[in-house]
Structure 1
Amino acid sequence: MHSSLTLTARQARAGRPTLADAWDTAGSLVATALGLGAGIAIVDGAHASHPLAILAVALVVAVGDLVLRAPLRLFARAAGAMGALVAGLAAQVLVAWVALTHVPGIVVDSGVAVVAVLLIASLVMAVGRWLWGVNDTEYVLGDVIRRAQSRARRAGTRPDGASVVPGEPMPRGTRVEGRRPPGLLVVQLDGVAAPVLALAVEAGLAPTVARWLASGSHCLDPWWSRVPATTPASQAAILHGDSSGIPAFRWWDRDLGRLVVTNHPADAALVESTLPAEHGLLAPDGAAVSTMFSGGAATNLLVMSRSVRAPDGSRGGFGPGPAFLRFFASPFVFTRAVVRSVAEMAKELYQARRQRVRGVEPRVSRGGWFVVLRGVTNGLMRDLTTSLVAEHLVRGTPTVFVDLVDYDEIAHHAGPTRPEALRALEGLDGVLHVIEQVLPVAARDYQVVVLSDHGQSLGATFEQVEGRSLLEVVRSLMADPDVDGVQAVAGEEWGPLNSLLTSASLSSRPRGTVMLGPDAPSRGVRAGRPERVGLPDVVVTGSGNLGLVWFPSAPARLVLEDLQERWPGLVAGLAGRPGIGAVVVDTASRGLVAVGARGLALLELDVAPEGEDPLAGWGSQARADLARAGRLEHTGDLLVISAITPGGHVHAFEGQVGSHGGLGGDQNRALLLHPSGLVVDADLLGDVDGSAMLVGAEQVHIQLLRWSAALGLRA
């Protein structure tokens, strides 16, 4: 039947609206009318004399959106992303104002009432979809999916590329092999350990992943995230194939004479300038969305390293303006995202109080700015990034990489397996479900790979165990409690917001960046004699339960013999603290050693430990990980790994009850969820405690490159 339809007939019908198009339009119109009706009924300054007047307002809003699309798109190309944001919001308010003030039977008293109606309509529509059992994020992509389906119907093809009879319903998810070019979508679930995802599947909190696994379409494999198990190190390796210049989340650079913090847009750009661009996973024509580094992508959207003006003078920022227009200009989408952000803040306040009331231990403070940051990342940023990914899938970008940080942010403050963290993971599974709805209407036959950059481990902080910070312990062991010191152990959660604000303000601040949070230069923690200027005597940073210590006045890294001469009790004193498991330091004659409370292990010589092995119980990969970490460029004079409890709990050197960066617990067991047809190559596997898995993010990079080549996306 399909083959009897001639190409001429299909072309004759192309562009003609179908019955399905009309049904989609009617459904959208009714939903908008219901939301607007609720807003008009609730807001004191708005009144409607008849239900048909509300339907007419919804119709005007829909027509206004359609009419303004073309001029807004042209404006966004010229004005960039910030122009798209401003123009899109202005268009929403303008269309609503025209509809509410000019449709007969509707009366509004002020512009404030117009905005209030918009906000309430967005809230009602979101709640209605939740009560109806529809994934909340689907609303963001409803228009994207409808447009792609309509385009496919009018072109006479199914979303999968097969021919159809115009007006015939399209089977959802139907796929015909070979009809569309292949594509690769990589979704990073930041901070999710493989065992935690397996737990969520068993608990019914990840039904999309569970369905993929049960159907056999995907396989779940763990991979080993080496020390430092942090986002910048893992993502640099996954996207660029090299993490050797990244010893932690933040570090002291002796050449620059300052701290480098990877969630500072300018520092992220500095780090990427040292990474090999020719091996970028997303080169030459891929898209990076909400990542720390670009991976050589042609299109960079909310990419930390690209949110500032590049050294060659090229413009960074959000990315191409039209990419954001659909999100900011579509009626109710942005306002709904704002409402969701506020709801997320209220949820955080409730969940934090519940932990305190129930006496949950271990726990950390969850007040202050974190409440706002959670709202931004789990509300606005989630909807925005999902929308951007969907647009690129529909457009047919060959390779797309997106980083979703929702779970990682909450798990740091609540704990990796606490109810609120698992609920955040449930939300990310919902994002995968939404993306799944886009795949049948995408321009390519996308293979979806889901991975994480590391896991997280639970545990009381080092300061809770020790009663003082790592900097205070170091200063006391140097026999000078007032020594001038710098401590940088917080601020990871500020990265997405700083990147967003820097990108948005690039046109007005072309040479600078927006820096908020404890890592901001004006708010760094410097302790010691106030009259001291210049280089500090000691610098301490924390990346989870990995602590690094530098002595900046020394021109090069100090070895154990130097340290014992200057501060005889420092290394042994640190290793003997109850919250510390081992101290890694270089020596003049025996290479790197790991010093424990009652023994030491030579990391680069094949000899037995002296005394008790400080690495006993840390697993087969600990020795190799610490030997590598101890030789990374810019690494500390001392590397400190916290103690590990028999239950696998670690002690972060920053205020996090869920942490990553060092060794212990699930933080090193990242996940790789891949299509069954894309097999992990045996020659890339290593042995970790008797299990074969990819060891190191560099190996993950190689595997992704091989899959990309097998799909014909690169040479």
Structure 2
Amino acid sequence: MRGVRGGRWRRVASQAGRSVAVWAVSTITMLVLAGILPDFQLRSADGDSATDIAVTAALGAGAFGVLSALVWPLLVRLLLLVPALVLGLLVFVLNGFLLLLALRLNPTERGAAAWETAVVVAAVMSAVASATGAALAVRDDDAYRRRLYRLADRRRRGGPAAPSAPGVVFLQLDGVGYDVLRVAVGTGVMPTLARWLDGGTHRLTPWRTDWSSQTGASQLGILHGSNEDVPAFRWYEKDSREVMVCNRPTSAAELQRRAVERTGDDGLLGVDGASRGNLFSGGADEQALVLSIATRRRSRETRSRAGYFAYFSDPANAVRTALSFVAEVGREIGQSTRGRVHRVRPRVRRGGLYPFIRAFATVVERDVVVAAVMGDMLAGRTAVYADLVAYDEVAHHSGPTSRDAEKVLERLDRSLALIENVAEHAPRPYRIVVLSDHGQSPGETFRARYGLTLGDLVRAGCGLPVPRKAQRTHSGAEARAAVRAALRRPVEEGREQHRPARRSSEPLVLASGNLGLVSFPDVPHRMSKEEIDARHPALLTTLANHPGIGFLLVRSEEHGGVVLGPFGTEIPVDQLDENPGPLAAFGPGAADAVRRTHGFAHTADIMVNSWYDPGEGEVLAFEEQIGSHGGLGGAQGRPFLLSPVALSAPVADAEELVGAEHVHRVLRRWLDESGGPQVPLPERQDEQRAA
């Protein structure tokens, strides 16, 4: 009993000593700032002694610290109603307001500051106090652990002790391809992962995505065991007459509901799990920044912004992240300007709100998600799955192998090192698995190369009006000539007269990276090749013969489904193994991926995959991206799985890891091996029901 009391008093004394040290450093910081900034005063107009000024600084620093600890969390909770991008701009103003309030409450009544100066002073003091507290706490394991608990607000007060069996943390590096990771490890860009691989603690395994090589399809399959009927990132569903978009909350919720209904299982994280920064919950009890729950009625469990409060309730975190946010905006503007000056090609527009979107993805989302993962580990949760989207966002606009994207990988590696360090303080051992959901393939956009969009080409192939700029392109002229030839109309030498479309419904063209989807909304079923030819005789020929298009997939009344290529190539999907035709350039597995998508209920009337250059690994994005993913071709379809050797190998040496659903089964097996949730796989459930 005496030992327990003695330890408690030592902790109290240690905490008191750290508080005094932080107070002293804050006081010195305030004195230094008062000497530097002309609009920040700690003395009366008549002048004061050095002692009076020091007392004023000490009282002001103490009041600011107390207000930061008590008032700031309340302000941040109110700010959950504010958009996340606005939060970064308000952090400095609110912190400055707390400093002005602290000076007003100072009984010496000597302190004064202009409001803009107060913002600067408060930011510097918060940063210095945070650095001092962290430096002192690191030397004390118990204090460091308590600080990390507060950072993520995930302590299980009064809960059961954590089991001794290892937990598993799955960290998804969104968009990082297998080859990109190997280069980053080999060149020292990611030293933490290099140390894991060189030290023999982890193994690196590539895997192959489905045709829809994007986060929605991959993460749904990984977390919920089924990505059936997800043909792309966005697609049109004729039965509901709605466009589904994977990163739209209502669509994400519906996709998750369908997957759970199909598998009869809540997901990978269904027992004592946490889902952080994902599109889908995986059945986790603890969820933060999860898109599929954003539309639910808000509660403590389902509030999508709860992770923001947990992180920003510490004013030092708020200031540090806000400063990094501003720096990232400046970095993006500088990098974009340099690219324009040096005429870097390929290039896309990076103005407007993009610098702020990039800063949110690379700074705010990263900081909040990493903090939440650390809290989950310290709370002893069994399974955690988190998505870090920073690389994917930057690679879309700067290129997958650009210097901009490489810098993001460096910062992500530091986040992995921090999580590794926190694992040493967790109440149970953890196995850290790092994986990606897809890669990215480089290449210029379809519009940049040909002067018109896929939608323009489809409209031209249907004989519908297109913008004048698209008319003047070679592709537009060829498409219009093909239409006139198919309809046996003479070529007009003079000015064309464009009339509104005769049909009430025009084709709907959607893009998902280098995968395009063409649907005819007025037809309630998936149209066949024969029906499309009857309505638009030149459309399929125009698309299949275009140099920027690799192949088409359409339904056929005669063959069930056919892949179309240039020069009249037409191969039934059940004969692709013997004669891959235009799919040959896309490598092994392309035929299986196309066949699987052909069987989906909501596959578009025409599935269009762009041209692919196997030598350079380049594709042509139908969106404005120079690093793209969503279809077949190149690195986009080859993500990675980096796992501890303490877990069984993902697949046997002679096998290949194919599809997100296969990855799900591997991760479920690893949870079982770690003594985690003993949830049967879907096929096991079927066997048990039969028995």
Which bracket does the TM-score occupy, shorter chain normalised?
0.7 to 0.9
Q: How does 1:183-262 map to 2 (within 5 A)?
A: 183-262=167-246
Q: Find the counterpart in structure 2 of residue 436 from structure 1.
A: 420
Q: Find the counterpart in structure 1 of residue 271 from structure 2.
A: 284
Where 2:547 maps in the other structure, the secondary structure is: coil
How much has 1:637 moved relative to structure 2? 0.7
Gaps of 5+ in 2: 44-52, 149-161, 468-496, 679-691
1:658 corresponds to which of 627, 640, 651: 627
Structure-2 separation of matches of 1:369 and 1:193 = 27
Structure-1 separation of matches of 2:83 and 2:524 = 49
Q: How does 1:413-492 map to 2 (within 5 A)?
A: 413-481=397-465
Q: Which moved more, 1:93-102 or 1:206-215?
A: 93-102
Structure-2 separation of matches of 1:383 and 1:348 = 18
Q: Find the counterpart in structure 1 of residue 285 from structure 2.
A: 298
Identity %: 34
Rg larger for: 2
State the Cα deviation string for residues 438-485 of structure 1 (Å, max 9, x = none).
1111232121111111000000111112210001101111122269xx
Q: How does 1:633-712 map to 2 (within 5 A)?
A: 633-645=601-613, 646-682=615-651, 692-712=655-675
Do the aligned residues in 2 keep the contact of 1:282 with 1:288 (CA within 8 Å)? yes
How much has 1:22 moved relative to structure 2? 6.5
Alpha-carbon distance change, 288 to 195 in structure 1, aligned in 2, over 3 angstroms: same
Structure-1 separation of matches of 2:531 and 2:632 = 27
TM norm structure 1: 0.78
Alpha-carbon distance change, 33 to 588 in structure 1, aligned in 2, over 3 angstroms: farther
2:296 corresponds to which of 309, 325, 335: 309
Q: Find the counterpart in structure 1 of residue 540 from structure 2.
A: 571
State the Cα deviation string for residues 174-216 of structure 1 (Å, max 9, x = none).
xxxx984421111111100011111111222111111111211
How much has 1:289 moved relative to structure 2? 1.0
1:593 aligns with 2:562: yes
Structure-1 separation of matches of 2:21 and 2:409 = 30
Structure-1 separation of matches of 2:239 and 2:527 = 15
Structure-2 separation of matches of 1:42 and 1:663 = 59
Alpha-carbon distance change, 213 to 619 in structure 1, aligned in 2, over 3 angstroms: same
Structure-2 separation of matches of 1:80 and 1:15 = 37
CA RMSD of aligned residues (A): 3.8
Amino acid at match of 2:603: T
Where 2:556 maps in the other structure, the secondary structure is: coil
Structure-2 separation of matches of 1:532 and 1:25 = 74
Q: Which moved more, 1:693-702 or 1:53-62?
A: 53-62
Q: Which moved more, 1:627-636 or 1:341-350?
A: 627-636
1:14 corresponds to which of 8, 26, 29: 8
Alpha-carbon distance change, 331 to 151 in structure 1, aligned in 2, over 3 angstroms: closer
Structure-1 separation of matches of 2:350 and 2:379 = 40
Q: Find the counterpart in structure 1 of residue 99 from structure 2.
A: 96
Aligned length: 617
Q: Find the counterpart in structure 2 of residue 114 from structure 1.
A: 118
Do the aligned residues in 2 keep the contact of 1:35 with 1:122 (CA within 8 Å)? no
Structure-1 separation of matches of 2:310 and 2:211 = 40
Do the aligned residues in 1 keep the contact of 2:96 with 2:121 (CA within 8 Å)? no
Where 2:612 maps in the other structure, the secondary structure is: coil
Alpha-carbon distance change, 668 to 557 in structure 1, aligned in 2, over 3 angstroms: same
Structure-2 separation of matches of 1:244 and 1:31 = 58
TM norm structure 2: 0.80
Where 1:305 maps in the other structure, the secondary structure is: helix
Structure-1 separation of matches of 2:80 and 2:424 = 28
Structure-2 separation of matches of 1:636 and 1:115 = 54
Q: Which has the higher helix share?
A: 2
Where 1:441 maps in the other structure, the secondary structure is: coil
State the Cα deviation string for residues 410-429 of structure 1 (Å, max 9, x = none).
10000000000111111111
1:327 aligns with 2:311: yes
Do the aligned residues in 1 keep the contact of 2:95 with 2:123 (CA within 8 Å)? no
Q: How does 1:446-595 map to 2 (within 5 A)?
A: 446-481=430-465, 536-595=505-564
How much has 1:66 moved relative to structure 2? 5.1
Do the aligned residues in 2 keep the contact of 1:92 with 1:329 (CA within 8 Å)? no
Alpha-carbon distance change, 364 to 94 in structure 1, aligned in 2, over 3 angstroms: closer
Structure-1 separation of matches of 2:536 and 2:556 = 15
Amino acid at match of 1:285: D
State the Cα deviation string for residues 260-300 of structure 1 (Å, max 9, x = none).
22222122222222121624011132111111011111121
Do the aligned residues in 2 keep the contact of 1:100 with 1:114 (CA within 8 Å)? no
Gaps of 5+ in 1: 1-6, 130-137, 153-177, 484-527
Structure-1 separation of matches of 2:607 and 2:185 = 36
State the Cα deviation string for residues 210-261 of structure 1 (Å, max 9, x = none).
1111211211111111110011000100110111121111111112212122
Amino acid at match of 1:709: D
Q: How does 1:359-398 map to 2 (within 5 A)?
A: 359-398=343-382
Do the aligned residues in 2 keep the contact of 1:393 with 1:442 (CA within 8 Å)? yes
Amino acid at match of 1:676: V
Q: Find the counterpart in structure 1 of residue 600 from structure 2.
A: 632
Alpha-carbon distance change, 472 to 240 in structure 1, aligned in 2, over 3 angstroms: same
Do the aligned residues in 1 keep the contact of 2:97 with 2:118 (CA within 8 Å)? no
Alpha-carbon distance change, 377 to 597 in structure 1, aligned in 2, over 3 angstroms: same
Structure-2 separation of matches of 1:663 and 1:477 = 24
Where 1:296 maps in the other structure, the secondary structure is: coil
Structure-2 separation of matches of 1:267 and 1:316 = 20
Q: Find the counterpart in structure 2 of residue 318 from structure 1.
A: 303
Structure-2 separation of matches of 1:636 and 1:142 = 56
State the Cα deviation string for residues 299-328 of structure 1 (Å, max 9, x = none).
210111111125xx978763485x554422
Do the aligned residues in 2 keep the contact of 1:190 with 1:407 (CA within 8 Å)? yes
Q: How does 1:44-83 map to 2 (within 5 A)?
A: 44-48=38-42, 50=53, 54=57, 57-65=60-68, 82=81
Q: Which moved more, 1:105-114 or 1:585-594?
A: 105-114
How much has 1:108 moved relative to structure 2? 2.3
How much has 1:57 moved relative to structure 2? 4.2
Do the aligned residues in 2 keep the contact of 1:478 with 1:569 (CA within 8 Å)? yes
How much has 1:673 moved relative to structure 2? 1.1
Structure-1 separation of matches of 2:278 and 2:187 = 29
Structure-2 separation of matches of 1:534 and 1:16 = 82
Do the aligned residues in 2 keep the contact of 1:183 with 1:397 (CA within 8 Å)? yes
Do the aligned residues in 1 keep the contact of 2:26 with 2:128 (CA within 8 Å)? no
Do the aligned residues in 2 keep the contact of 1:302 with 1:317 (CA within 8 Å)? no
